[in-house]
Structure 1
Amino acid sequence: MSGLDPQIADMIEALDSGFPAVHTMTGEQARAAIRSRFKPAAQPEPMASVEDTTVPGPDAPVPIRIYRPVRGERPLPTLVYAHGGGWVFCDLDSHDELCRNIANRIPAVVVSVHYRRASEEGQWPAAAEDMYAATRWAAEHASSLGGDAHAVLVGGDSAGGNLAAVTALMARDRGGPALAGQLLLYPVIAADFRTESYRSFGEGYYNPISALQWYWDQYVPDLADRQNPYASPLHADLSGLPPAIAVVAGHDPLRDEGIAYVEALQAAGVPTVRRYFEGGIHGFMTMPMLGICQRARAQACADVADLVGSIGAAAP
């Protein structure tokens, strides 16, 4: 485990052995198993306000949670955020700590989206369509949220990073909303389990290949559908997309597809910043006890602030 962050190295065996065998479960069982491990913060990070509501979705209302930071000059950028969890589990509560923290760090209004989860609540493209609907709503209501209609971004971690990337594609293809950027934290980009990083880190690094394959089976069971750009953004025409900030973890089965996506975005002329954390594992940015987590959050949020600052400077 050469190069692994020392704090992670001290806990990786316990993390890995404690990960539920989700690939043997139904989606409902997996959600229950993961939720039983969740411990909310004893003292949540203070915010100016936190509001739960719903927005119109393609088939049913989509629950969202709106975070307004304690500081920052209005209007603020608005980040529409999709939580990770393999498209199957996690929710607004599981990512509450992260969303509070990034809202205050940037600072930005963060709209966290509780999309339909596979497979019982909806398979592909249900989650992506929910994320797109929430993004369109946030853009239309940016001013009332305290945000800047010209500084709406999408973001997400892991499967949520996939949904953010797909939403950027949908927004381009469907004529809006105009997005200022995309924040992709170790995103799921393609259903290719033969990469070097899958071979190197598919066992023993907390998110085993059996679980990662199972996530795809729940969300996109049809192998042909996995070639669709709205499932696997690596297969898309990437021209005309908003600037991207991508965090890649060095000890992550998804490392290689993340790097490949960064390179594909750059080749398509999309301004893209890659932040590489060699010692990180998949999911490390949702582990606030880790120093590497705090460093990655600080860097990613500074990058978002720089991006929206450059947009403001360029505005007439």
Structure 2
Amino acid sequence: MTLDPQIAGLIDTLDSGFPPVETMTGAQARAAIRSRVVPNPNPEPVSHVADHRVDVTGGSIGIRVYRPTSNDPLPILVYAHGGGFVFCDLDSHDGLCRNLANLIPAVVISVDYRLAPEHRWPTAAEDIFAVTQWAAAHAAELGGDAARIAVGGDSAGGNLAAVTALMARDHGGPAVAAQLLLYPMIAADFDTASYRLFGRGFYNPRPALQWYWDQYVPALEDRQHPYASPLQADLKALPPAVVVLAGHDPLRDEGIYYADALIAAGVPTSRCSFDGGIHGFMTMPMLDIAHEARRQASRSLADVLRHG
């Protein structure tokens, strides 16, 4: 297994430039990450993009809705951005969400969920669940199909998507037709083989990943709850899953374990494995492998939603 050639040429720069978030407050980490984001002066066109507010327990949160051109009701993807539960926002994942909306095609609802450590577990997961409920109630006016709602996310957002699928099952709805999990944070286990192999020198190092969990779920006993670590859950009767795995990723093994556990529970699960990828590679548009992963994941999700 070898690193993608384009990533190999960038990995030292990426790794050395990753801020030592574990030495920062949440606000400092947020500012450091935000300073690295360069807005695309020519974002990918999508037929309609609009920002809205959704009421949640304790206030309201922002969402951004992307709708590609279509005369028919489209599937809906409620999307939770990555960022270790601590940083990133609607703007950091704008390019990915535009691309997914066009590729699937689907109405994509990107969620500006509340961030840790100011808002600890399970606030972020409850926010994604609330927006999923909102999407089901407003599907028609969004040009979406309430019978084809998917939840998705990358990294920490993958955790939130997986948990939302559990919440929807446990609370009797809304019906979720699929889950899209891009190199998800599934369990707070920092001693897997992939952590030992790739927890240093491959971007998003182990100290940062441990710090994310400390910000979001600081109590060790809470990390055993299925709504924090979905690998602890009874996974029966969950919607079909598309799981993207990056080969050079500390989180690779927990993604594999979760895909295996879903299959063992009888959940139809498609894996899109990119051995040359690193954690977070799908939000790096300079990489050919990122675009190939987006195409494969979108095709797999579209197939599930078509044949559900």
Q: Which residue does the alignment assign to 1:160?
A: 157
Q: Which residue does the alignment assign to 2:102?
A: 104
For residue 234 of structure 2, what is the amino acid of its counterpart? D
- Residue 72 (structure 1) shift: 3.5
Q: Which residue does the alignment assign to 1:127?
A: 124
Question: Could you tell me the TM-score, scaled by structure 2's length?
Answer: 0.99
Which digits, 9 at most, give the CA deviation of each residue in 1:142-182, with x for residues without a partner?
11100001000000000000000000000000010001000
Distance 2:70 2:194 in 1: 39
Distance 1:269 1:156 in 2: 22
2:83 pairs with 1:56: no
> Is the CA contact 1:81–1:112 (under 8 Å) kept in the aligned structure 2?
yes
Q: Which residue does the alignment assign to 2:15?
A: 16
Q: Which residue does the alignment assign to 2:275?
A: 278
2:243 pairs with 1:246: yes
2:177 pairs with 1:180: yes
Question: Could you tell me the TM-score, scaled by structure 1's length?
Answer: 0.97
Provide closer, same or farther for how the CA distance between residues 301 and 230 of structure 1 changes in structure 2, counting only shifts above 3 A.
Answer: same
> Is the CA contact 1:55–1:64 (under 8 Å) kept in the aligned structure 2?
yes
> Is the CA contact 1:131–1:163 (under 8 Å) kept in the aligned structure 2?
yes
SS in 2 for 1:56: strand
Provide closer, same or farther for how the CA distance between residues 29 and 166 of structure 1 changes in structure 2, counting only shifts above 3 A.
Answer: same
For residue 248 of structure 2, what is the amino acid of its counterpart? H
Task: Report sequence identity in percent.
Answer: 68
Q: Which residue does the alignment assign to 1:151?
A: 148
> Is the CA contact 1:189–1:261 (under 8 Å) kept in the aligned structure 2?
yes
- Residue 225 (structure 1) shift: 0.2
Distance 1:67 1:58 in 2: 25
Which runs of 5 or more structure 1 residues have no equivalent in the other structure?
A: 312-316
SS in 1 for 2:92: coil
Q: Which residue does the alignment assign to 1:223?
A: 220
SS in 2 for 1:86: coil
Q: Which residue does the alignment assign to 1:75?
A: 73
Aligned residues: 308
Distance 1:248 1:47 in 2: 27
Distance 2:72 2:21 in 1: 43
> Is the CA contact 1:245–1:303 (under 8 Å) kept in the aligned structure 2?
yes
**1:24-35 aligned within 5 A:** 24-35=23-34
> Is the CA contact 1:62–1:134 (under 8 Å) kept in the aligned structure 2?
no
Distance 2:218 2:271 in 1: 30
Which digits, 9 at most, give the CA deviation of each residue in 1:185-229, with x for residues without a partner?
000000000100000000000110000000000000000000000
Which runs of 5 or more structure 2 residues have no equivalent in the other structure?
A: none
Distance 2:161 2:302 in 1: 18
> Is the CA contact 1:284–1:293 (under 8 Å) kept in the aligned structure 2?
yes
For residue 10 of structure 1, what is the amino acid of its counterpart? G
2:224 pairs with 1:236: no
- Residue 95 (structure 1) shift: 0.2
Which digits, 9 at most, give the CA deviation of each residue in 1:42-75, with x for residues without a partner?
1011111111011111211121000011x33410
